[in-house]
Amino acid sequence: AQDLNVIEEVIRMMLEIINSCLCNSLHHNPNLVYSLLYKRELFEQFRSHPSFQDIMQNLDTVIGFFSQRLEQAGSDLSVERVQEVIMKGAQALPQDRLKAGLQECVV
């Protein structure tokens, strides 16, 4: 049980770091957004876990926002086109859509 608690705390810390990057410098982290989109299924298991639900709100917001933009851009997109959509989307995503976490998104 103690090992499980340690693993849970490490996962939460990693999610908080990702959240901080999204809150504070989304436009500087297009590769992070690309990775979140590419591996979005990995985060499914955290949505229903009570320890991670609060921190998953921003990840869901970002994944949903950029997924919608990519759908609008069409299918069969090149990596370069996906990155372009992400860069433009990072500038267009209103900061107030991201909820504060990790001490109000301050590191």
DSSP per-residue codes, 20-53: HHHHHHGGG-HHHHHHHHHTGGGGHHHHSSTTTH
Q: What pLDDT is stored for residue 93 in this prediction?
A: 87
Confidence of residue 13 (pLDDT cuts 50, 70, 90): very high
Residue 41: closest CA among 16, 11, 63, 21: 63
Flag whether pLDDT at 104 surpasses 60: no
Rounded to the nearest 5 percent, the helix, strand and coil shares of the chain are 80, 0, 20
Q: What pLDDT is stored for residue 36 in this prediction?
A: 95
Report the largest interatomic distance among the alpha carbons of the chain, rounded to a whole angstrom.
47
**What predicted TM-score, i.e. pTM, was given to this entire model?**
0.82
What percentage of the chain has pLDDT greater than the value 70?
93
What average pLDDT does range 37-60 have in this prediction? 90
Of 13-17, 26-30, 51-55, 82-86, the one with minimum mean pLDDT is 51-55
Q: What pLDDT is stored for residue 98 in this prediction?
A: 79
Q: Tell me the per-residue pLDDT of 23-40, one tens digit each, with 9 for 90 and over.
A: 888 889 999 999 999 999
Q: Tell me the per-residue pLDDT of 61-77, one tens digit each, with 9 for 90 and over.
A: 999 999 999 999 988 89
